[in-house]
Amino acid sequence: MLPILGIDKIMKAPSFSESFKMMRHAPINMPLINEAHKHDFYMLLIVGHGSGTHSIDFENYVVSDFTVFFLAPGQAHEWNLAPETTGYQILFAPEFLPGGHPDTPFFKPKSFPFLKITDKNFSEVSAELILIETEIERNLTYSEVVIQRRLHIILALLKRWYDETYPVESTEKNGRLIQSFLTLLETHYNQDSSVAFYAEKLHVTASYLNNVCKKESGLTAGEQIRDRILLEAKRMLKLTNDDIKEIAYALGFNDTSYFSRFFKKYTDQTPLTFRKKI
């Protein structure tokens, strides 16, 4: 299984807290961590100027001026950025914010992890980030509280612009059901792959859960479960040296050959072929 690395292993930056780090990058490229890993924290990558690509869970996104990327704990990512790329990287653990996990659409399962903003938006966020930098350097009484509040402001601004870019059209009831389902899926995807398992926990029928998911996302609940298992399989094939049998068992398959057939059916390549290409 993948080791989970904390913020202190990813970024060496002055701070008053091991659960919050921020760095202004010019350029933004940093040394790669050779050890395969997952993060246990949230990350904002706010690009002011630059170019390149940023791959998040095997989807490639174009990096350009005034772009923001969102990473939640557990996601796999890598970037290939031009040397002149500049911006900010903000890392924070769930426990840094009062109430724990932030209530934002961009950190939720299946959310789009990319946002294009304007130069005015960037200036607005940068003003808050500069104030955070100053507060970190001062490190006075209540500095942590001040930085928590400023981070809330940044997340609120990004949420406003995110909602404008990706408006949610689902009904409130259906939206809550799907989000509850996806949250459960994050916890149990390697334990049970049946729609009935999740439907029972959500107190609905499997048919109803499938229909709501299909209506709102274009994918049935069963297809969402399948895609989540495939995503984790890809993460493990890319980021670990575990053999195929170990990966299959970790994902809830009792038979390695069945796992290989499952993977090939939906990716058109065997797990070994995928790993070699990566």
For residues 32 and 126, state if they share a domain: yes
Q: Are residues 160 and 177 in the same domain?
A: no
The Cα–Cα gap between 269 and 95 comes to 40
Any long-range contacts for 142-148 (C-beta under 8 Å, 24+ apart)? 143/16, 144/16, 144/17, 144/20, 147/16, 147/20, 148/96, 148/97, 148/98
How many Cα atoms sit within 13 Å of 2 on the Cβ side?
A: 24
Share of the chain above pLDDT 70, in %: 88
**Which structural domain, as residue segments, surrounds residue 91?**
4-165
Identify whether residues 130 and 216 lie together within a single domain: no
Within the chain, residue ranges assigned H as helices are 7-10, 119-138, 143-165, 172-188, 195-202, 206-217, 221-239, 244-250, 256-267, 271-277
pLDDT digits (tens, 9 = 90+) for 82-109: 888 999 999 999 889 988 788 899 998 8
Phi, psi of 240 (to 5 degrees): -130, 170
Domain containing residue 144: CATH number: 2.60.120.280
- Residue 174 and residue 163: Cα distance in Å, rounded? 17
For residues 128 and 146, state if they share a domain.
yes
| DSSP reduced 3-state for 113 | coil
Output the pLDDT for position 34: 43
Same domain, 80 and 136: yes
Domain final position from 149, 165, 181: 165
Within this chain, do residues 53 and 148 fall inside the same structural domain, yes or no? yes
pTM: 0.82
Do 205 and 156 belong together in one domain? no
> Of 106, 140, 165, which residue constitutes the final position of a domain?
165
Same domain, 21 and 142: yes
Note whether 23 and 12 are within 8 A (CB): no
Q: In CATH, what number is assigned to the domain containing residue 208?
A: 1.10.10.60
How many Cβ atoms are within 10 Å of 265's Cβ, its own excluded? 10
- Reported as a single tens digit per residue, the pLDDT across 218-241 is 899 999 999 999 999 999 998 888
Mean pLDDT of 206-223: 93
Claim to verify: residue 41 and residue 179 sit in the same structural domain: no
- In sequence order, the β-bridge partners of residue 92 are 20, 42
Instruction: Among 24-28, 233-237, 261-265, name the one with the lowest average pLDDT.
Output: 24-28
Residue 207 and residue 260 in one domain:
yes
Same domain, 177 and 259: yes
Please report the pLDDT score of residue 10 as a whole number: 63
Rounded to an integer, what distance in angstroms lies between the CA atom of residue 22 and that of residue 187?
Answer: 29
- Report the number of distinct structural domains present in the chain: 2
Tell me which of 77 and 203 has the higher pLDDT. Answer: 203
State CA 55 to chain mean position distance.
11
Q: Which of 114, 144, 165 is at the close of a domain?
A: 165
Which helix (H) or strand (E) segment holds residue 189: the answer is: none
CA 158 to centroid of chain Cα atoms: 15
pLDDT confidence band for 123 (50 / 70 / 90): very high
